[in-house]
Each structure stands twice: as C-alpha cells, then as structure tokens.
C-alpha cells in the first residue's frame, strides 16, 4: 500500500518540477458524511512565483489555498488516503490515477493521452458565494470566528441560512422593482436570516433595499441595531413591535420565518393587505387548528393516533393558508426549506402576487370542505382577513 502511494506522489513531484502538471482532482471522501467533497489542484502564477492552488469544495462553499511544490506534496500525504480514496493527476502527456478500494488495496493506473494539453496558470477567482462568512457581521452574530470561519456548533445553522439565501434568490430574481425594495422580516429574532437577506439583495443582486426586522424583544432589537451600525450597513433596521401591531407604510416583500402559531397568519395578513409582491413564510407551530380538530371529536383512521393528528393539523393549517392566499390573488407554492435532518420546521409557504382573477367560489368550497372534514369552525387567517 505505502509503496504505491509513494510512487504516485513521486510522479506528482516530477510533474510539478518539470512544469508538466496540468491539474489534479481528489475525490471519493473516506468519510461519506464529510462536508469536504472534492479538492481540485492547478498550477498558478502569482507575482511571478509558480504555486499550486488547492480549491477545497465543501457542500456550501469553496476555499482556495496556495502552496509551493514542497507544501503541495506534504498536503497530499495528509489527504490521501486518509481523506480521499481517489486522486487523479493530469499532466501534459499522461493521466495517473491513484485508487484505493473499500478493502484498502491501493493501485496506480497510468494512461498516455493523445491530445495536446497546456497549463493554464491564471489564478482562478474564488467562486462568488451567496453568503460570505468572512463578512464582519457574521462574527458579531456569533456564527464565525474572527477569521471568517463558521464555528463547528453553527455549521447546521449556516447550512440553513445558505439554503434560505438560495431559495430567496430564485424567488426575487424574476421580480421587477421601481425604486427601493421595501421588506419586512416578521419575528426576525437574532437576525441571522435578516442579515442574510440584506447581504444577498445588496451584494449579490445589487438592489436598493429598505429592510425592517420586526422583533418584540427590546434588548435584542438594541443589540442587532448596534451590530448594523458598527458594520456600516445601509437599508437595514430592527424595530421593536409585535407582528400584529407593526404597520408598514409600504411593503414589497414579506418574510415570516418560524413565527409561532397564529403569528404566521398575522404576518400573511399584513402582506396580503399591503399587496406585497412576494410573501415567504416558514410556519412554526399549529396549535389553533389542532385544538379545533380535537374539540370537534372528528377522527378517522389517521388522526386517532396523536402523532398523526399533529402532522395532519400542520398540513390542514398550511393548506388553508395557501388557499387563502390564492383567494386574494396569489400563486402559491409549498417547498422544503431545509433537509429534515437539520430542522423539523422545514416547510416554506410562498405566495407570488399575480394579475390573474382567482376563482373565489372554487377556493371557498375547497376551504369549506376541509373545515367540515376535520371539524374546524374557523381558521384564524379567515378572522384577520
């Protein structure tokens, strides 16, 4: 085993010394759950010095590090086979593959190539990311180290933030705005997703924004506003208010993520009344409808089991919310916010304002049928609208 690895690393060193190394790829992580999925290596010329750029490709980000030839070989010794089971060297005239089987057997395969290959010594720009953990506010919010690295205990949270940014980008890109985009983030909490929204819209989509994070806890509002001030961010402010009491003067986009129980309905109602172009909600708990279902005594083969009653209450609650938004002229969509392994609160309810006249009779019938089936007298969203 050691002999073949040494043989392979010697060939890499020779290719580097002879300026024949075109690129390398490291794949097949030894740990299938490792966030580091691949490493790509290529020669680069930086300030007249020939180095080797290692692009570390994680699930949600890329990191680039530059090494000289000696550092490159030392790094490869640490990575193969402890981190990666496959490594392929591409030179100007041959491919050399190091393969480690599931039983630990190491083989080296060499293949001559016919095409004419050339080195590309241009230094690749790091892939533009939706959310950059190196921005100073992420450290102040407690997600990263001073060096801009996501801390171990916040990896899942950062995944959730990044997934949120991906979804919001896809939702906002098709929209056209005349002037600043007025946004309310209802129940903004510690501000992680509000800051992600601001960063995405201003630094990625180059939009002029006026974002208000609505939060009831005064000490949190003060803390977040201090971070906004020290970070020099424009168009972002936290305001102390309940969702129900907040009165936006203008509203283009409404966000309400994990607003508890009927607070989600209060937020949706704000967006509908303001004629927001986009409403994005991640409902949290669904007590109101579950209590009505339990009081009615209407159970079937599914809902007589407590855990299924809970899940059915979630689906009924959010289905009626979607139908209510359609009643008021929104095209609705229900999607997964983030994988269930990271949070059980993984449903995202999206409403896009349309010019199409809704079939209110049909929608009212659908809502009524659901209420009768599950013994529901009134959905709270009907009350506030």
pLDDT (tens digit per residue) in 91-144: 988 999 999 998 889 999 999 886 667 677 765 554 557 889 989 999 999 999
- For 118, phi then psi, to 5°, come to -130, 150
Residue 63's domain comprises 2-112
- Within 13 Å of residue 151, how many CA atoms lie on the same side as its CB? 11
> 81: cis peptide before it, omega within 30°?
yes
Query: Is it the case that residue 319 has pLDDT exceeding 80?
Result: yes
d(CA 194, CA 253): 12
CB count in 10 Å sphere of residue 50: 15
The pLDDT of residue 17: 93
Averaged over 323-343, what is the pLDDT?
A: 79
306-327 and 360-374 helices cross at what angle (nearest 10)? 160
Within a domain: residue 125? no
Question: Is the same domain home to 48 and 181?
Answer: no
Tokens of 375: 């013994």
On whether the CB atoms of residues 309 and 371 are closer than 8 A, the answer is no
pLDDT in tens, 341-382: 444 457 899 999 999 999 999 999 999 999 999 999 999 999
The pLDDT of residue 344: 45
Tokens of 308: 């299924």
Q: What is the DSSP string of 92-111?
A: SSEEEEEEE-TT--EEEEEE
pLDDT in tens, 174-228: 999 989 999 999 999 999 999 999 999 999 899 999 999 999 999 999 999 999 9
Within a domain: residue 188? yes
SS3 134: coil
Tokens of 120: 């590309």
Rg (CA), the chain: 27
Give residue 367's Cα distance to chain centre: 32
Question: Is the same domain home to 108 and 181?
Answer: no
pLDDT in tens, 297-318: 877 778 888 888 888 888 999 9
Query: Is it the case that residue 244 has pLDDT exceeding 60?
Result: yes
Question: Is the same domain home to 95 and 144?
Answer: no
Question: Is the same domain home to 220 and 324?
Answer: yes
The chain-wide mean pLDDT, for the chain, equals 89
Tokens of 180: 């600043």
Question: Is the same domain home to 88 and 140?
Answer: no
For the ranges 75-79, 152-156, 258-262, the maximum mean pLDDT occurs at 75-79
SS3 231: helix
Averaged over 65-84, what is the pLDDT?
A: 95
The pLDDT of residue 83: 94
The pLDDT of residue 341: 43
Question: Is the same domain home to 145 and 102?
Answer: no
Question: Is the same domain home to 83 and 197?
Answer: no
pLDDT in tens, 268-294: 999 999 999 999 998 877 888 888 888
pLDDT band at 82 (very low <50, low <70, confident <90, very high): very high
The pLDDT of residue 281: 93
Question: Is the same domain home to 298 and 343?
Answer: yes
pLDDT in tens, 248-271: 989 999 999 877 878 899 999 999
CATH assignment at residue 228: 3.40.50.150
d(CA 76, CA 59): 21
Within a domain: residue 123? no
Number of domains composing the chain: 2
Within a domain: residue 118? no
């Amino acid at each position: 085993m050691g002999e073949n690895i040494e043989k392979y690393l010697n060939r890499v060193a020779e290719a580097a010394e002879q300026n024949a190394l075109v690129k390398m790829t490291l794949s097949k992580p030894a740990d299938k759950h490792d966030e580091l999925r691949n490493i790509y290596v290529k020669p680069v010329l930086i300030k007249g010095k020939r180095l080797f750029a290692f692009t570390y490709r994680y699930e949600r980000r890329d990191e680039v590090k530059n090494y000289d030839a000696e550092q490159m070989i030392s790094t490869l010794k640490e990575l193969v086979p402890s981190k990666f089971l496959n490594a392929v060297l591409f030179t100007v005239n041959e491919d050399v593959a190091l393969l480690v089987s599931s039983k630990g057997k190491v083989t080296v395969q060499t293949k001559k190539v016919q095409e004419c290959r050339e080195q590309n010594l241009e230094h690749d720009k790091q892939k533009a990311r939706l959310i950059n953990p190196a921005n100073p506010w992420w450290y102040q919010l407690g997600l990263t180290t001073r060096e801009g690295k996501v801390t171990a205990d916040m990896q899942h949270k950062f995944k959730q933030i990044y997934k949120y940014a991906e979804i919001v980008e896809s939702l906002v890109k098709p929209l056209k705005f005349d002037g600043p985009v007025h946004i309310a983030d209802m129940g903004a909490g510690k501000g992680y997703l509000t800051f992600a929204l601001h960063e995405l819209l201003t630094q990625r989509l180059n939009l002029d924004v006026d974002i208000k994070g609505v939060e009831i806890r005064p000490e949190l509002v003060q803390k977040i506003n201090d971070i906004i001030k020290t970070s020099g961010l424009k168009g972002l402010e936290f305001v102390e208010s309940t969702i129900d009491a907040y009165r936006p003067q203008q509203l283009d986009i409404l966000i309400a993520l994990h607003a508890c129980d009927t607070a989600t309905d209060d937020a949706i109602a704000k967006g509908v009344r303001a004629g927001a172009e986009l409403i994005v909600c991640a409902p949290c708990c669904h007590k109101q409808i579950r209590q009505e279902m339990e009081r009615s005594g209407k159970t079937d083969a599914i809902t007589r089991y407590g855990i299924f009653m809970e899940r059915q209450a979630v689906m009924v609650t959010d289905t009626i919310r979607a139908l209510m938004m359609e009643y008021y002229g929104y095209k609705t969509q229900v999607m997964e916010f983030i994988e269930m392994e990271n949070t059980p609160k993984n449903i995202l309810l999206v409403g896009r304002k349309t010019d199409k006249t809704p079939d209110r009779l049909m929608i009212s019938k659908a809502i009524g049928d659901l209420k009768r089936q599950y013994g529901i007298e009134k959905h709270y969203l009907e009350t506030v609208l």
